[in-house]
Amino acid sequence: MGLLTAATLAALDHEVVGVDEDEEKIGLLRQGVSPFYEPGLPKLIQEGMSSGNLRFEVRAYDAVADAEVVFICVGTPARVSGEANLVAIERSARALAQHLTGPIVVIEKSTVPAGTAQRLWQVLTLERPDLADDIEVVSNPEFLREGQAVEDSFEPGRILVGARSERAFEIMRRLYEPLVRDGARIIETDIRTAELAKHACNAYLAMKISYVNALARLCERADADVTAVADVMGSDPRIGRAFLDAGLGWGGYCFPKDLQAFERLSARLGYDFRLLREVERINDEAIVAAVEKVKDALWNLEDKRVALLGLSFKPKTDDVRLSPALALARKLIDEEATVVGYDPEAGPNAKSELPDLQLAPSVYDALEGAHCFVVCTDWDEFRSIDLDRARDILAHPIVVDGRNVFDPAEMRRKGFIYYGTGRPSDHGMR
Ligand code: UGA
């Protein structure tokens, strides 16, 4: 997110210095190489560097001396308790405070619990009481999605800014002026509202997915089709079709930690937001349901080979953090299945996260000799699998379609035993 912010602002003709403690990462960036897979990002980085607007430094907090604004984009992972760990925010604030020379706007870009900006301001001004009147803290949460982060950065739809003074709002308007000219809307609020709104958005989206996944469990029992139900729901503009795709559930770096942090913040403030715990419980259930389907299809998992197609937490990224595919792989491995996975981008990351997973170099290598295959992530590549070839190389023609990428009727016509998600399935004990 920091890298995207840096590259985007450089493209908007601001002068940007990207700072990170990780020397290896900075080394790659200086060669124009992105340390992770994100479509369009390497080109954006290279363009930024050749225009002279973008450079990268290790721990160069002195870059702060000449800056008008500083973005804090560090990670806010979950503690064991579920609370957001804000140590990196505090550390970076302390480090940058040492180098401040005059008026500065410090922008909190990381996702944080409401009230964090106040803490941030406290740290900065305790470190630099001489600049207490010159330090402004602004909340500017990010809404970009992995896999389409470049598009989202240039067409953000909305830009959320929480600030305290007209001077800070004015600087933020200047920063994003080219995007506003292209149609983005700036929503200006107080700081705590901006912080809380970010958590509210992510938790709501996760809730929408969990709602459709709960419907999927019901549709499976009622022999109804959850995709068609979602289409009906989505045709009502009050509901909208987005984020109503049933599957193995939500994962990634953001939803799981943000949902927990939001629930913990609520608890700390004295409100029991138990709906959020239920949203999480339904999400865990999606993996259990997939394991049950594999077992229904294969009976005992010992001596069985299961192919998983897609290992990243969603398509177009190599990010496997809290990927539902890996959660499923772990459960299947625990039950002694041999699990072989294929992903267009995330294979190496998946393997280092889960060494017991076998990696295949292609879809067909994964399917060869497998007793069933599970579609875990809806990469486009899987929609164009040669189904005749797949059926012939599998040990058994069984598919668990964890993302509903196939047409059930076509799969049956091609001779597959088909298990969908929230759709009528062929059962092992017919
Ligand atoms: C999410 C939000 O969508 C962004 O707006 C936000 O900026 C970001 O978190 C963040 O806070 O940084 P992201 O984590 O990249 O973005 O991924 P999403 O596209 O939201 O997908 C999250 C998970 O939900 C994925 O595992 C995806 O497969 C799953 N999902 C999504 C479904 O299972 N069904 C759907 O209908 C949609």
Q: Is 379 helix (H, G, I), strand (E, B) or coil?
A: coil
Residues 6+ apart with CB under 8 A from 245: 209, 212, 227, 230, 378, 403, 404
372-390, pLDDT tens digit by residue?
A: 999 999 999 999 999 999 9
- Mutation test of ligand 1: which of 74, 143, 403 has the most ligand atoms closer than 8 Å to its C-beta? 143
The yes-or-no verdict on residue 312 having pLDDT over 80 is yes
The yes-or-no verdict on residue 133 having pLDDT over 70 is yes
Average pLDDT, the chain: 96
Query: Helix axis angle, 41-51 relative to 2-11, nearest 10°?
Result: 50
The yes-or-no verdict on residue 300 having pLDDT over 70 is yes
The yes-or-no verdict on residue 425 having pLDDT over 70 is yes
The yes-or-no verdict on residue 429 having pLDDT over 60 is no
Positions marked catalytic:
254
Nearest CA to ligand 1 atom 24: 250
Q: Which residue has the tokens 């997915």?
A: 209
pTM as predicted = 0.95
Q: What is the mean pLDDT of residues 79-95?
A: 95
Q: Quote the ligand 1 centre to 125 CA distance (angstroms).
A: 36
The yes-or-no verdict on residue 97 having pLDDT over 60 is yes
Nearest CA to ligand 1 atom 25: 250
Q: Which residue has the tokens 């459709």?
A: 212
> How confident is the model at residue 103, as a pLDDT?
94
The yes-or-no verdict on residue 413 having pLDDT over 60 is yes
The yes-or-no verdict on residue 430 having pLDDT over 60 is no
147-165, pLDDT tens digit by residue?
A: 999 999 999 989 999 999 9
Residue 251: pLDDT band with limits 50, 70, 90: very high
> How confident is the model at residue 63, as a pLDDT?
83
Residue 171 has φ and ψ, to the nearest 5°, of -65, -40
349-364, pLDDT tens digit by residue?
A: 999 999 999 999 999 9
205 Cβ closer than 6 Å to some ligand 1 atom: yes
Nearest CA to ligand 1 atom 3: 145
